[in-house]
Amino acid sequence: MPPSSTPDAAPSEEQLAAASATFDLLSVPGRLHLVWLLARDETDVTTLAARTGAQIAATSQQLAKLRAAGVVSARRDGRRQLYRVDDEHIIAIVDQMLAHIAPDGTIAQTPDPLRPPRPPRVGPPQSSPRHH
């Protein structure tokens, strides 16, 4: 195991840049949904588009980005191209992230009676009233 892979070693600039780029890639909800689906089932672009409610062309573009980044792989099956996620680390990150977020978008955690739950971080930021 390389020294930079041990828990106590500081990550290299290259590792930080690659991790940041991966999180950036997964920050698009549609791409994250595709990765989640492909971690569970190898499938084609038409089926993925139907499952996500997106257009086939848009789904294909998202798959191309994921594939170029090495997050998704593909193989030909006759006339169909089948996509999948093979990297157990990517699967674990996505599963852990979604397990930590409740269906309403709040952080799923053990309730703390002294602290109310945080509101979902989806949608426009709520503005606070200005005091003059």
Dump pLDDT digits (tens) for 104-120.
888 876 666 677 766 76
For residues 80-94, average pLDDT: 95
Say what the pTM is.
0.75
Q: What would the DSSP string read from start to end of 78-104?
A: TTEEEEE---HHHHHHHHHHHHTB-TT
- List pLDDT tens digits, range 25-64: 999 999 999 999 999 999 999 999 999 999 999 999 999 9
Q: Which of 11, 57, 7 is nearest to 30 (CA)?
A: 57
Q: What is the mean pLDDT of the chain?
A: 86
Q: How far apart are CA 50 and CA 13, in angstroms?
A: 39
> E strands, 1-132, where?
73-77, 80-84
The SS3 of residue 118 is coil
- How long is the chain? 132
